[in-house]
Amino acid sequence: MGNVVLNLEMSKINELKNYYAKQLLDKNIPGSVFAAKTPSCMITAYKSGKVLFQGNDSESEARKWGSSAAGASSKKPSAAKGKSVAKGDLPAGIGGMSAIGSDEVGTGDFFGPITVVAAYVRKEDIPLLKELGVRDSKDLNDEKIISIAKVIKDVVPFSLMTLKNEKYNQVQGSGMSQGKMKALLHNQAILNVLEKISPVKPEAILIDQFVQPSTYFQHLKGQKAIANQDVYFSTKAEGIHLAVAAASILARYAFIQYIDKLSEAAGFKIPKGAGAQVDVAAAKLIMSIGRECLPSFVKLHFANTDKAIAIVNKKRN
């Protein structure tokens, strides 16, 4: 799917809005003037003057309104050369580089899976992502996450890895640490994105740090393929490069969708986190469906499991 961005005057944007009047969408995209959809192209105009064309006919549709497409994602960036070494110190100017960012959601939640996303952001697309509202997902509510994710999933190449509860409980029960699970998921997601954008290579790969780099690569020993070229680690990486912020938003979007599925299966709204509210929800689940359903809903080794069972026993006695 192609993506083209034009910078237009507001008078021209109003002209576009009139032209696509019959195809306008009732979408609340952050910072937008309007959104329209043709059979083969999505058009979103922003207050800044940027107009994003997405779809198979994005280039031909954009040519109706401008002779050049500044920031068009159809341009292929040059491959970046780098040393095969993972680093802890970040290079100067990494925030402006073309990079793959990787982040995860759900590791601290009792209900739901771990979702890991790696996303590739070209340097020329950074202004567009800012325009779309991409930033640290912790600063965004679920509604904003959903609206932004629905747009950027067609703008940036990404890979989603979901470790469902059944598999999580199986490998955790066999002795695998959560840290190793995350390392395996991050590595695979990054490899998937590298394959998607090949032969282009990112100038950097930035992982939101959850262990020391040496431990991360120790977890990956024995894997057939390991992404280790120009790999960097940092805590709070969402604030360092928008690729990590985009990955975080897409991972959280996937997690929200999965929690919705669990809620549907449970018959009531499943809460996030690991506080007292999830103890009550798990107890309700046990009472309504049975304790045998827990492995497909929760991370069994969390202390919340015993707390939920205690609530059930108290109610039954």
pTM score over 0.85: no
pLDDT in tens, 194-253: 999 999 999 999 999 999 999 999 999 999 999 999 999 999 999 999 999 999 999 999
β-strand partners of 208 = 234
CA dist 239 and 247 (Å) reads 12
pLDDT in tens, 152-161: 988 899 999 9
Q: Cα dihedral sign for 304, 308, 314, 315?
A: positive
Decide: 116 and 160 in contact? Cβ < 8 Å: yes
Per-residue tokens: 305: 């499991």
Is pLDDT at 67 greater than 70 in this prediction?
no
Nearest residue to 77 via CA among 95, 99, 92: 99
Per-residue tokens: 106: 């759900």
Lowest mean pLDDT among 62-71, 101-110, 112-121, 283-292: 62-71
Residue 176 is which amino acid? M
